[in-house]
Structure 1
């Protein structure tokens, strides 16, 4: 290790252990190809109006090959980029997998928002499309008129279904670890958008790590449930691609249905006896706030063994409140499992262990604030809770690098670095023909602050979000959570930032 914290050229990369390497048999297209005539359940789609469509493995394979033929008939072929915008999972998923099957490169992009400013969505899309440089854009009919003009052909899903499919069924894209599988815009992107290049190798490795090592998933027993947006890595990888690597069936709910009725999440989990679900912290707070005890008492969540929480900072208070509120429905509090990851590592780096009681790390606030040390603290106002998100998956590594450029010891706060087979190939931004690598010497600098305790990752905010006041590093999320604990302040209703003061920066809440 040199003084920059980067590994030496002769430093050995971590060996891939059993199940962590990406075997071609678990590549999405290879798995789908084995489902000919298989009546086992695969996907259950719930659209924005609550209509349900169920697909067996054989039926999903038929739809994937059908979309592959129709996309090919549109003039796109292997290596072509196909931008896909849809909230309806029954439209998005077969088209995405069909593009993958035909060797095309799908590019998930956000559909128009149900709530919020459409001009902001349009501006974001106008910046993302030149970065992605798609050859074809497929969107739901109402959204087509809102999509900024591009040289690419624009087509609705309805029109795609009318395209004569041709007689030749494209062969499934062969597994090559370096093959570009799809482009994923990172939710943390700022400035000019850059898309992460997810490869067949990184997708397969992360899918197996999540399903086999993180969840110990069993297709005969498990069933996933998600309302997460499918243009986001947590929805796409966590509940479409990763489950496919091992054949776990899932129910996918249109996001706009959850936005209108957050209760549909837990109702569906109860109805299908779902075992695995997940969402960011805000969704657990929303579910607690928007569902009353009488309705919860009519649910049965006893089958759920894993409720993942990630994608944004995890509040211990939020998870405790959710567990307390849903205990009446039979939810085991140990099912709540914080996780850590980012799009540049396909999705997940680590999950808190299954069946372990949720116990945040309570640390001294003054030592954390003034000395970047996460030393154990007492039960008083001078301590804060930070959630542990488990150890990295087998074959993956994490370290914390301090401001000195050297790896930190346990409980020293610095930037989290990760490496392993799930790390993606690079970024594309439309201006370069070749991807810009995301990692130096195999190590991905995540931009996240945090610390390790016996190998367990404890994220503590984003480096770029840190408030620096009088030489002290302050995580704005901790300030916001403290404000939200005050009576009358609604969860999610506080924001902390700095402004120039008379003598120094001042914190504004």
Structure 2
């Protein structure tokens, strides 16, 4: 096959040591795997969608990676070929993904069909992703093959791949070359269609080491990661597969569909394996708190966990406090909850709150934030809001906030967060050109996120494109959504806010998921709470059934998509019950 990148093949020499330091290539995924010949140390535990467990030593993982590399090569793919892999069962996806990396191919992780509902949205997303990725081969679980939109690529099941007669020669591991395209990672698409980000060997290695060494101070002899996160998403793939491999930390990978069916499997597994590191978006912590009880907590031992990462969406202080309070009886140290900030265009993480220090939200004046883009300290009253700090950028990385003037802002000035460093990816590909469109200008990546700095600590405060502009005021929709979710009957993570055209100005609309028997007077309660907390009147409140709010793969609400559906009249309200009288 032709190497689409136009770059040399996979057999180049690794860079030599400079100034006595180990070359970055020694932490390149393939270089690490190549050292695991005969190593009996634990590497991965895979828990499939039925709860079945399979354990692999480092040596066994290396064997499976080389086996998949040989079988993929036997399918006619070679260095530079793109292999789309639907990420469902971790025990099948991970060896295939790593096998593609090993053989110098370019794997493209894609979402499997959803467990519950939203099948049309999945098909639409896949139909947009495949032309952008232009894969030569698509691999999926057998039941999903019939659902994949037609492409010129060959389609193959994981079962069939494992039966392909392997080539006689074991491909040499892809050598470390920083600019080499390692894989394509689709961004979450919270404000539009997902885009294919080019992750390079250099950005993956830099970010993996930054996370594991500087962020987590991880020790392969003591640490054990646990994750149920989707493996087609950067938080699951980089955070719990690629980054741990750079330093050899073992990980238990739970099939996402098992977590969807049984959210309690997350904390049970963390307890059972004495896991030390896990992570998830904000909504998952709210779900874990809501789905637990005293009996379940009594059977958990979370005392070994020193890091529970929270990122992928703005972090709610209330959610983290509720989770910490609920799980304290299971031995959880509240200081283990560590907010983090990142995005696919920077491979994964940009910053991580320091280890061993309980998170303390920054309480700021809401009027100053809302009307003047200033995050000035506020009091403990209704006129203040809490914003969570996500730590300082990793060593060798930088962050700044650029205001509407186009100039870097001072501490506590709100603007767009820009980041720079070796973790920043090469660019985007869209299926129409071979060379990626750069994501950075003069080295700086414009993240599209609003936020501010305090003594170098990044405080994210929402997405630029999602900002609600009402009567000349900039309002973060996340604040409106959190206020709505405080109403009894509204599901945590189930509110979304956007604007609609009004007579004189834009009006704010809140869509709130709730159970039918809890939907009585949701409209009035949401209006009153948002008005009291934020001084904001709402144009409309729509109570909808659970599962109605469109979300990205990381759980962030797709506000522009919900706005589109609302304006088209495609949001049928849930049948409401009349308010009950009395207590």
* TM superposition score normalised by structure 1: 0.95
User: How many residues are matched?
Assistant: 506
Query: Structure 2 vs 1, CA of residues 481 and 3 (structure 1 numbering), >3 Å: closer, same or farther?
Result: farther
SS of the aligned residue for 2:218 comes to coil
Per-residue deviation at 1:411?
0.1
Larger mean CA deviation between 451-460 and 116-125 belongs to: 116-125
Query: Shift of residue 41 of structure 1?
Result: 0.1
- Is 2:102–2:171's contact at 8 Å kept on the other side of the alignment? yes
Cα-to-partner distance string for 1:57-108 (whole Å, 9 max, x where unaligned): 0000000000000000000000000000031000000000000000000000
Once the two structures are superposed, residues 5-48 of structure 1 have per-residue CA deviations (whole angstroms, 9 ceiling, x without a partner) of 99999999999999999710000000000000000000000000
> What is the RMSD computed on CA atoms of the aligned residues?
5.6
CA contact (8 A) 1:229 1:255 kept: yes
Q: Which runs of 5+ in 1 are unaligned?
A: none
Shift of 1:489: 2.5
Partner of 2:101: 100
Q: Secondary structure at the match of 2:243?
A: helix
Q: Do the aligned partners of 2:17 and 2:23 also contact (CA within 8 Å) in 1?
A: no
Cα contact 1:15–1:395 (8 A) shared by 2:
no
> Would you say the 8 A contact 1:194–1:428 is kept in 2?
yes
Tell me the secondary structure at the aligned position of residue 452 of structure 1. strand
Higher relative contact order (CA 8 A, sep 6+): 1
Change (3 A) 1:21 1:396: farther
Distance in 2, matches of 1:418 and 1:317, equals 28
TM-fit CA distance, 1:486:
2.4
Q: How far is 1:376 from its partner?
A: 0.2
Check conservation: 1:438, 1:444, Cα contact below 8 A.
yes
Q: Structure 1 residues 313 and 11, CA, compared in 2 at 3 Å: closer, same or farther?
A: farther
Distance 1:414 1:17, change over 3 A: farther
Where does the alignment leave 5 or more consecutive residues of structure 2 unmatched?
508-583
Contact 1:22–1:204, Cα closer than 8 Å, also in 2:
no
Whether contact under 8 Å (2:401, 2:416) holds in the other structure is: yes
- In 2, the alpha carbon distance for the partners of 1:407 and 1:18 equals 35
Q: Partners in 2 of 1:495 and 1:445 — Cα distance? A: 25
Deviation at 1:488, TM superposition (A): 3.0
**Aligned residues of 2:345 and 2:425 also touching (Cα < 8 A):** yes
Aligned pair in 2 of structure 1 residues 388, 157: CA closer, same or farther (>3 Å)?
same
Q: Is the Cα contact below 8 Å between 2:4 and 2:434 reproduced in 1? A: no
Which whole-Å CA distance do the structure 2 matches of 1:72 and 1:6 have between them? 19
**In the superposition, relative to structure 1, how do residues 491 and 419 fare at CA in structure 2: closer, same or farther (>3 Å)?**
same
Cα distance between partner residues in 1 of 2:122 and 2:488 = 34
Does the CA contact (< 8 Å) of 1:16 and 1:394 recur in 2?
no
SS in 2 for 1:303: coil
- SS in structure 2 opposite 1:75? coil
Rg (Cα) greater in structure: 2
Aligned to 2:123: 122
CA drift at 1:116: 2.1
1:277 alignment partner, SS class: strand
Change (3 A) 1:27 1:108: same
Q: 1:13 to 1:7 in 2, by over 3 A?
A: farther
Q: 1:7 to 1:97 in 2, by over 3 A?
A: closer
Residues 185-235 of structure 1, C-alpha deviation per residue, up to 9 Å, x if partnerless?
000365554200000000000000000000000000000000000000000
Query: Do the aligned partners of residues 381 and 5 (structure 1) sit closer, same or farther apart at CA in structure 2, a change above 3 Å counting?
Result: farther
CA deviations over 1:308-366 (Å, ceiling 9, x no partner): 00001110000000000000100000000000000000000000000111100000000
When normalised by structure 2's length, the TM-score is 0.83
Structure 1 runs (4+) deviating above 4 angstroms are: 1-22, 189-193
Tell me: CA distance 1:159–1:10, structure 2 relative to 1, closer, same or farther (3 Å): closer
Does the CA-based 8 Å contact 1:349-1:393 persist in structure 2? yes
Matches of 1:9 and 1:483 in 2, distance apart?
53
Q: Is the 8 A contact 1:3 1:405 kept in 2?
A: no
Quote how far apart the aligned CAs of 1:3 are: 38
Contact residue 368 and residue 376 of structure 2 kept, 8 A? yes
Partner of 1:490, secondary structure, is strand
Moved more, 89-98 or 187-196: 187-196
How far does residue 505 in structure 1 lie from its aligned partner after superposition?
1.0
Distance change in 2, residues 1:193/1:360 (3 Å): closer
- Deviations along 1:404-442, one digit per CA (max 9) or x if unpaired, are 000000000000000000000000000111100000000
Native 8 Å contact 2:5 2:80 kept in 1: no
- Going from structure 1 to structure 2, the CA distance change for 1:233 and 1:75 (only over 3 Å counts) comes to same
Q: Secondary structure at the match of 2:71?
A: helix
Relative to 1, partners in 2 of residues 1:144 and 1:295: Cα closer, same or farther, differing over 3 Å? same
Instruction: Using the TM superposition, give the Cα deviation of residue 495 of structure 1 relative to its aligned residue in structure 2, in angstroms.
Output: 1.9
Rate the CA distance shift 1:472–1:15 in 2: closer, same or farther, 3 A: farther
**In the alignment, is the contact (CA less than 8 A) between 1:447 and 1:463 conserved in 2?**
yes
Closer/same/farther in 2, CA of residues 8 and 145 from structure 1, 3 Å limit:
closer
